[in-house]
Amino acid sequence: MKKLLPNKNEQSPETNSTVLVPLTAKEKLVLEFIEQELVTKGISPSYQEICNHFGFASFNSVQNYLKQLSQKGYVLLPQNQKRAIVILHSAKDFAKDLSQRLSLSKNPSEQDLQSSFNPSTNSGNDSKVLSIPFLGRVAAGSPIERVHEHEFLQVPADMIKAVGDYFALKVEGDSMIDEGIFDGDYLIVLSQKAAKDGDLVVASIEQEATVKRFFQKKNLEISADQKMVELRPANPRLTSMWYHPQQVEIKGLVKALFRKY
């Protein structure tokens, strides 16, 4: 897939300013922590403090995230200086920049944003596209995930029905074919950690992801007193997968499907 990461110095024709690149969910959390430390303590956190806060195994993870934030133009990392991270853009600036590039009002409300992404209220929106972070492949079969950094998928803006943090995944497998989800399709996923019965979710089990229908109920064959998580396929050849709740991490809800021909 063609990478869509713009040059840091690329200028937006609508705003004549730097076009910001969307952050991954983890990049956003790291940037927000740095911002919080600067506001509350007046000094940027050390690598050790970032490492401890997120439970990273080593400084390499901290360095990788800071390098990604620097390459995307959100921070400046002065050489050979401790606690010297400079914030160039807030984690919230991408949403503001995107709103301006979509010709929204200067300070749009959430309702305004939702209307602008709805083709029924904005017929001129069909030609607009959004760059959604592409995180890799998700199984519609057995769990699998391959994460790609700095890669984005361009999708029609009218596929996004509400504001939020979205990411894209490419489907592998056929376990959801009765839902109309086929091998090679792209899913647009709203990032969130909770789900209710019947939601179509991307869930992670032991750091591998799968797309299934989510249910939480008792399964007497596994546990008589605790509700289990059922990840239900949509293929008559396959059976549900059952897990203890602590084994399952919800990554997000599937909101749209994008198919390339």
What are the φ/ψ torsions at residue 78 (nearest 5 degrees)?
Answer: -60, 140
Residue with token string 């969130």: 192
pLDDT of residue 194: 92
Q: What are phi and psi of 11, to 5 degrees?
A: -105, 140
Greater model confidence, 99 or 173: 173
* Consecutive H or E run containing 224: strand 223-232
Our answer to whether residue 196 is catalytic in this structure is no
Domain that holds residue 45: 1-101
Q: Which of 71-75, 120-124, 143-147, 256-260 has the lowest mean pLDDT?
A: 120-124
Three-state DSSP at 249 gives strand
Give the chain's mean pLDDT: 77
User: Residue 136 corresponds to which amino acid?
Assistant: G
For helices 25-41 and 59-71, angle between their N-to-C axes, nearest 10 degrees:
90
Q: Tell whether 170 and 246 lie within a shared domain.
A: yes
Does pLDDT of 230 surpass 90? Answer: yes
pLDDT at 123 over 50: no
Tokens 């199984």 label which residue? 139
Q: Is position 220 within any domain?
A: yes
Helices (H), strands (E): how many in the chain? 5, 11
Q: Quickly state the pLDDT bin for 99 (edges 50, 70, 90).
A: low
pLDDT value at position 141? 55
Query: What CATH number does residue 133 fall under?
Result: 2.10.109.10
Q: Residue holding tokens 């040059």?
A: 7
User: Contact, 145 vs 204, CB < 8 A?
Assistant: yes
User: Which residue did the predictor score with more confidence, 123 or 76?
Assistant: 76
Q: Are residues 172 and 76 in the same domain?
A: no
Asked whether residue 83 is assigned to any structural domain, the reply reads yes
Structure tokens at 130: 């959004």
Q: Are 30 and 63 in contact (CB under 8 A)?
A: no
Instruction: Determine, yes or no, domain membership for 122.
Output: no
What is residue 200's predicted lDDT score, i.e. its pLDDT? 96
Q: Residue 226 pLDDT > 90, yes or no?
A: no
The rounded percent of the chain whose pLDDT value lies above 70 is: 75
212, 227, 251, 260: which one is catalytic?
212
Whether 28 sits among the annotated catalytic residues: the reply is no
- Six-digit token pair at 102? 């979509």
Which two tokens mark 67? 């390098």
| Identity of residue 220 | L
pLDDT at 18: 58
The C-alpha angle 146, 148, 152, rounded to 5 degrees, equals: 130
Q: Which two tokens stand for residue 195?
A: 């789900």
- Domain CATH code at residue 96: 1.10.10.10
Mean predicted confidence (pLDDT) in 61-72: 89
> 177 vs 136, which has greater pLDDT?
177
Same domain, 71 and 164: no
State whether 6 and 79 are in the same domain: yes
Is the pLDDT assigned to residue 208 strictly greater than 70? yes
Which residue is catalytic, options 131, 175, 191, 251?
175
Mean pLDDT of the region 32-55: 89
The mean per-residue pLDDT over the stretch 182-207 comes to: 90
Q: Between the ranges 20-24, 137-141, 184-188, where is the mean pLDDT highest?
A: 184-188
Would 116 be classed as within a structural domain? no
Structural domains counted in the chain? 2
Q: 21 and 3 in contact (C-beta within 8 Å)?
A: no
Within a domain: 137: yes
